[in-house]
Chains A and B, each alone.
Chain A
Amino acid sequence: MKSLRSVAFFAVILAGVSCVLAEGAKYVDPSGTKTIVTLNQINPQDWANMADQMVGSLLESGVLERAPEKPAIMAISRITNKTQMQIDTDLLIKKIRVALLKSGKVVTTTTVAIGGKNEDPLAADAAEQQKFVSGDNTPDKQPFYSLSGKILEDKVKNGRVTQVTYTFQLSLTTIKDGLAVWEDEKQVMKQDKKPAVGW
């Protein structure tokens, strides 16, 4: 009887401890400090950080003030992913676009893209149709700037320490003359140290 009581007691204690230790799913602020940091991935906070730095650099450069028409029209060109991961570069570019739109300096066209692959084919078709019906021959507004870039990855190891660098390169080109009027490169660098003992 006594041993049964002790088993029950320990079961209750164990259940209590499990409740305390159990960590279920929970919401975290995506812009907070409790987000997960991983070595072999570009984390949400990295995208936001890079977009923030790039937007700051572009706005600070003052080149957007030189556009003849304001807000300047910008098209998104090729953003090459040179990392080993499959990533959607819109995780970076969309943030930059939203921030630039909010600044009032730039609007992005969704009907001009590489190889005619419009982001918004419906808008492109509808505009063409409207022009055909109305007999309007005025040329479409063309982008003044083009944004292109590259994301690179570099991994080095020294003893138990692994370091991964993600390099973000962006260029803003004036379409009429093909000159890059703004360029920048920012890096996210992460290190991880394997424990001396263990796997």
Chain B
Amino acid sequence: MKNPILPLLGLLAVTLAGCTTPGGVNTVQSATPAPAFIQDRRVVTDAYLASDIRVLGVHQTRVSGDLLKIEVVLLNTTGFDRQIHYKFEWQDSAGMTIASPTGGWRVAELKSKEEKAIAAVAISPSATDFTIKLQQ
């Protein structure tokens, strides 16, 4: 007697295989070490997201004289293409969040095993600190 589950399992495997993207992303870059990441503090409420999309580090600089620019380097550790939502928030020296007319959640797409940088510039010179939020 043949197991009736087997063909179904086979069909499921084929379907799932169709959903995945084979292979990761190959990269070539300068051998010179990149500038060090700044120290950051992380709060993880979604352990799966933190494991799948790893934050490798944060770069910080000033542009246009006095505006804070932040770049976050992410790595998709999974074997699948992933889409995540992210949001930058800016705080002044008193810790107050600076409202922005252009702020909001954005979408980033990372290929399997891809390293990708997401960046933002604070619109106010009073921004001295930042928060980056990541969501599935």
Taking Cβ atoms with an 8 Å cutoff, the residues of A that contact B are 30-33, 45, 48-49, 51-52, 55-56, 59-62, 64-65, 94-96, 98-100, 102-105
Taking Cβ atoms with an 8 Å cutoff, the residues of B that contact A are 63-65, 67, 69, 85, 87, 100-106, 119-121, 123-125, 135
Instruction: Provide the main secondary structure of the chain A interface.
Output: helix
Nearest CB to that of B120 among chain A residues?
Answer: A56
Q: In the bound complex, do residue B64 and residue A102 qualify as a contact, i.e. CB atoms below 8 Å apart? A: no
CA separation between A95 and B64, bound complex, in Å? 19
Measured between C-beta atoms, what is the minimum distance from B104 to chain A in Å? 3
CA separation between A99 and B102, bound complex, in Å? 7
Measured between C-beta atoms, what is the minimum distance from A49 to chain B in Å? 6
- For B121, list chain A residues within 8 Å (CB): 55-56, 59-60
CA separation between A40 and B74, bound complex, in Å? 31
Of B65, B87, B119, B123, the contact of A102 (CB 8 Å cutoff): B123
Nearest CB to that of B98 among chain A residues?
Answer: A102
Q: In the bound complex, do residue B101 and residue A95 qualify as a contact, i.e. CB atoms below 8 Å apart? A: yes
CA separation between A64 and B85, bound complex, in Å? 31
Q: In the bound complex, do residue A48 and residue B64 qualify as a contact, i.e. CB atoms below 8 Å apart? A: no
- For A105, list chain B residues within 8 Å (CB): 64
